[in-house]
Amino acid sequence: MEIPDSMIAACDPSKQVVVLTGAGISAESGVPTFRGEDGLWKRYRAEDLATPSAFQTNPKLVWEWYDWRRGIIGKAEPNPGHRAIAEMEGIFPHFCLITQNVDGLHRRAGNTEVIEIHGNLWDLRCVAEGTVREDTRVPLPEIPPLCECGALLRPHVVWFGESLDQEDLSRAYRLIEGCNLLLVVGTSAVVQPVASFPLMAKQAGAFVVEVNMDPTPISPLVDVSLHGKAGEILPALLEKIREYWGRGDGA
């Protein structure tokens, strides 16, 4: 994969860098989308289970599905694309990652400056108190899990029909509008409001790069569109950045 010189020159370590990731990067770790054909489970679709009404009607069924998902995702490992993004956090002092993924693989790879805009599958939230705690046990010993207060716990993710966390969304907007470089990795760019982020960054003057297996609706609009595996392109990009800018980890 040939990486244009203009792209390497845009990766200035003194600038604000934002990486936006979607399901494509996790697919390279073997994580299915859990939507469409991949989303079928006991004849249910993801869209039928990941809703507040489904949880209210049958929390045990919803949690059985999520426990199954957690079992699959728990076996996945961060791939070279995840690890390259984690290394970028050490190279760029002004860096943030915005991810649509709920699998937690970016944090496992080493990223700390992360906005998980759709939540995290490994966090559980009390429906009564709103408190959030991490629980990585697979399988969960109790379905549905309960809070110490006796109320139900739910996955701390954004379900169909729910709004994104306003604090996370506001911070994401500020970062997108203020960044100098935006890397869009493994997202189809069709789910709003995140689908609007690349265009927002472009209109604000950022250099926008897309890394995806196939062309997407934003491909004609970005500065550089690289087609291929993130696990191959991002490590190669990282090497080029180090060569051009003379930066190492933590520099």
Give the residue numbers marked as catalytic. Answer: 118
Instruction: Name the token pair of 31.
Output: 């994580």
Closest C-alpha to 173, from 24, 10, 18, 25: 18
Q: To the nearest 10°, report the CA torsion of 133, 136, 138, 143.
A: 0
Exposed e or buried b per residue across 19-38, where buried means at least 16 C-beta atoms within 10 angstroms of its C-beta: bbbbbbbbbbbebbebeeee
Instruction: Name the token pair of 174.
Output: 């500020």
CB neighbour class for 198 (10 Å; exposed up to 12, middle 13-18, buried from 19): buried
Per 3-state DSSP, the chain is made up of helix, strand and coil in percentages (nearest 5) of 40, 20, 45
